[in-house]
Amino acid sequence: MTEHTRRAPRQAEAERNDRALLQAAREALAADGAHASVATIAERAGVGIGSLYRRYRSKDELFQRLCVIALEEYSAAAEEGLAHGDPWEGLVHYAMASIARGPGSLAPIAGTITVTPEMADKNKRADAAVKALVDRAHAAGALRPDVTAVDLELLIEQLAKSPLLDQLNRQGRTDLAEAALNARTRVTAIALDGLRAPAPHVLPGDPPGYELFSERWTSPADSDLVR
C-alpha cells in the first residue's frame, strides 16, 4: 500500500517481525528478568532465532534498542502531559502513560548494557519535561508541595512493574489477564491519589537526590562517563 511496502514487499514481514520481537522482548524481560533468553524471546515473538540475529547482532543490541524506544516513549508521554491544559490532568496523563506502557520496566537490565550517548540525551530530555510538569503542578497547587520530581519518578517506577501480571504471564494464565489489568488500574489510581494536594501530613525524611536515578545506568565495571 504505502511506498515503503511497495518498494520492498518482503520487507513488510520483516518489519512486523521486528515489532513482534521488541514486544516479546519486553514481555520476556518482565517475566524472567535479566535472565530472559533469546530463545524465549524468539519463540514468544513467533520468530526463528535466526531472524532475531539477522536484525540484531547480539542480545545486548536488542536490549539497547529496547531502552531507546522506552526513553522515547517516556519523553513523549511527558510532553503530551505538558500540552494538556490542566496541570494535574497533565501530570496524571504522564504517570498513567508511563505506567501503562507496560510491565516492561527496564530495571532488570539497568547496569548490564552499555549506555550510548543517544540514551543519555533522550534521558536528559525526558527529565526536563518531567521537571517542568512537576513545577507547573506545584504552582497550580494541585500537587502536594513536599513531592519532588524524583519522588514522582520513583513512584512511577514502583507502579510500572506488576508482580501479579508478570506471574500470570509466566504461567500463561490469559484468563485472568483482564481482571489483573483492571486491578492494576485501581491500585495505580489509589497511589496517584496520594500525590494530590492538600496532603494529610508531610512526607518523612529528606527529599531524595537525583543520583538515585542517574547512577543506575552506569555499569558497575566502568565508573567513568559514557564513551
Q: Which residues would be at the binding site for its own copies (CB under 8 A)?
A: 32-33, 35, 105, 107-108, 110-111, 147, 150-151, 154-155, 157-159, 161-164, 166-168, 170-173, 176, 179-180, 182-187, 189-196, 199-201, 203-209, 211-212, 215-216, 220
Q: Cβ of residue 151: shortest distance to DNA, in angstroms?
A: 34
Q: Positive or negative, the Cα torsion across 46, 52, 55, 56? A: positive
Q: Cβ of residue 202: shortest distance to DNA, in angstroms?
A: 44
3-state secondary structure of 215: coil
Q: Cβ of residue 120: shortest distance to its own copies, in angstroms?
A: 18
Separation of alpha carbons 140 and 116, rounded Å: 37
Q: Which of residues 25-84 bind DNA (CB under 7 A)?
A: 35-40, 46-51, 53-55, 57-60
By beta-carbon proximity to its own copies, the closer residue of 126 and 147 is: 147
Is residue 132 within 8 Å of residue 77, measured between CB atoms? no
Is residue 218 within 8 Å of residue 115, measured between CB atoms? yes
Terminal-to-terminal C-alpha distance of the chain: 42
The answer to whether 112 contacts DNA (rule: CB under 7 A) is no
Separation of alpha carbons 146 and 202, rounded Å: 7
Q: Site residues (CB under 7 A) for DNA?
A: 8-11, 13-14, 17, 35-40, 46-51, 53-55, 57-60
